[in-house]
Amino acid sequence: MPLKKAAPFLPIALDQASNPVLVTDARLEEPGPRILYINQAFTRMTGYQWQDLEGKTPRILQGRRTDRQELARLSETLKQGREFKGSNVNYRKDGSPYLVEWNISPVKDEIGQITHFISIQRDISQRREEEHFSRTLLKNIGEGVFGVDAEGRFTFINPAGLKLLGYSHEEELLGQNSHQLIHHSYPDGRSYPTEACPIHQAINSGLSADQWHEDWFWRQDASGFPVEIYATPLWQELGQVFGGVVTFRDISERKRLEGELQQLAYHDQLTQLYNRHAFYELLEQEAARAQRYQTRFSLVMFDLDYFKKINDNYGHHLGDQVLIKVAELATERMRINDAVCRWGGEEFMVLLPETSLSRAAKLAEAFRKKLEAACFPEVGRVTASLGVVEYCPDESLDQLTLRADTALYEAKEAGRNQVMVGY
């Protein structure tokens, strides 16, 4: 519809607009432009009726907290005939302050002369309060929080995040690529591909993580630490992702406790060897591997000779010290895939992957000699009887360990301090 034809409808449209509107003349010299029009939304925002403002200047809305420098910037922009966008503190009719956002445009006549200024306004007090609340929350929250843009560059980080990452000032991170700076590699030093990064995935997919994700961050001093992270994409009104927010927390202490619990669950507390339960799991894995790949493995079971006499004659404390030293001797020069467990009491079991029966027997004999020659000054000589067996694919693990126990029993029956092979 042409503007002239639309003219009769403009006052109605402006009056029904949801945003406050104020129209003034174009006189910028003192005392300033006169108010010519306000709509109902402006009245609702300020409490002023038309009769309160007729012939007045917008200065009636100003007060002690109004930013004079912002007003000077406004005046200079309008004198240049340009549109002005800004915000300031104005005051309602009842004297209460509010934060207003301005979008002020010059209106020109047919020959290009500015005749009016139209100001579309918005009360942003609540928005600023929410922003202030968010900033305060970010400042005081114990977890690290940082923002990234669509390319993964830091846009903000809270004090807790700075502290966790070992930085002093936000400016050290702003604009830096977050992945390259704190997320570039795994704990073992292998490169961490960007496409595998959950932060990158959240931004690319536009989907928040469905749960916290365990990961690894790097501090400014190049030390690393385990973290849990939660990444959320940020959407524009037009439906495009323009960045993301990442919350993270240091889980070093939790990991340490988990490690201790795992140690307790899978290891004998006295000797620190595998306990029977954990060792049986290793046996199951090795048996499955042997059946799948036609590999072989052997077991050595040994028992300390006359150990009850050591406890009876010297006490359980010295008996425990003997067990600890035997465990140390059994694990010396052990291959990376070998495993030793305290089977129970003074009984021990050794798993030897990729080892034939004859080779296992030689290793058992070498250990027997090493133990016999070891120095136990408090209790004298300590020896062991050993049974050696090789896994047969058609037997159960219970049958395998029973054969090892039988071979051990035969070694004891034959006089102790010797190796017996079970077939």
Kindly calculate the radius of gyration of the chain based on its CA atoms and give it in whole angstroms: 40
Is pLDDT above 90 for 308?
A: yes
What pLDDT sits at residue 112? 85
What pLDDT sits at residue 221? 96
- Rounded CA-CA distance 87/39 in Å is 20
pTM, full prediction: 0.51
* Sign of torsion over alpha carbons 321, 326, 327, 331: positive
Is pLDDT above 80 for 233?
A: yes
The 10s digit of each residue's pLDDT in 71-119 is 999 999 999 999 999 999 999 999 999 989 999 999 888 888 999 999 9
Is pLDDT above 50 for 3?
A: no
What pLDDT sits at residue 6? 40
| 297-304: strand order across its sheet | 339-344, 347-353, 297-304, 384-390, 419-421
Percent of the chain whose predicted confidence (pLDDT) is above 70: 93
The 10s digit of each residue's pLDDT in 258-279 is 888 888 889 999 999 999 999 9
The H or E element that residue 359 is part of is helix 357-373
| Three-state secondary-structure class, residue 334 | coil
What pLDDT sits at residue 146? 94
CB of 114 closer than 8 Å to CB of 106 = yes
Kindly list the structural domains of the chain, giving each domain's residue range(s) and its CATH number in brackets, ordered by start: 3-128 (3.30.450.20), 142-255 (3.30.450.20), 267-421 (3.30.70.270)
- Rounded CA-CA distance 420/62 in Å is 101
CB of 169 closer than 8 Å to CB of 162 = yes
Supply the DSSP string of 201-253, one letter for each residue. HHHHH----SS-EEEEEE-TTS-EEEEEEEEEEEE-TTS-EEEEEEEEEE-HH
* Sign of torsion over alpha carbons 59, 65, 68, 74: negative
* Beta-strand relationship, 339-344 and 419-421: unpaired
The H or E element that residue 414 is part of is none
CB of 36 closer than 8 Å to CB of 57 = no
- Rounded CA-CA distance 253/267 in Å is 21
The H or E element that residue 281 is part of is helix 276-293
What pLDDT sits at residue 1? 32
Phi, psi of 216 (to 5 degrees): -145, 125
Is pLDDT above 60 for 7?
A: no
CB of 305 closer than 8 Å to CB of 386 = no
What pLDDT sits at residue 355? 96
What pLDDT sits at residue 416? 96
The 10s digit of each residue's pLDDT in 127-179 is 776 666 666 666 667 789 999 999 999 999 999 999 999 999 999 999 999 99
CA triple 68-73-75, angle to 5 deg: 95
The 10s digit of each residue's pLDDT in 199-230 is 999 888 888 877 889 999 999 999 999 999 99
The 10s digit of each residue's pLDDT in 354-367 is 999 999 999 999 99
What pLDDT sits at residue 391? 97
Is pLDDT above 70 for 13?
A: no
Closest CA to 371 of 339, 413, 328: 328
Q: What is the mean pLDDT of the chain?
A: 90
Percent of the chain whose predicted confidence (pLDDT) is above 90: 70
pLDDT band at 9 (very low <50, low <70, confident <90, very high): low
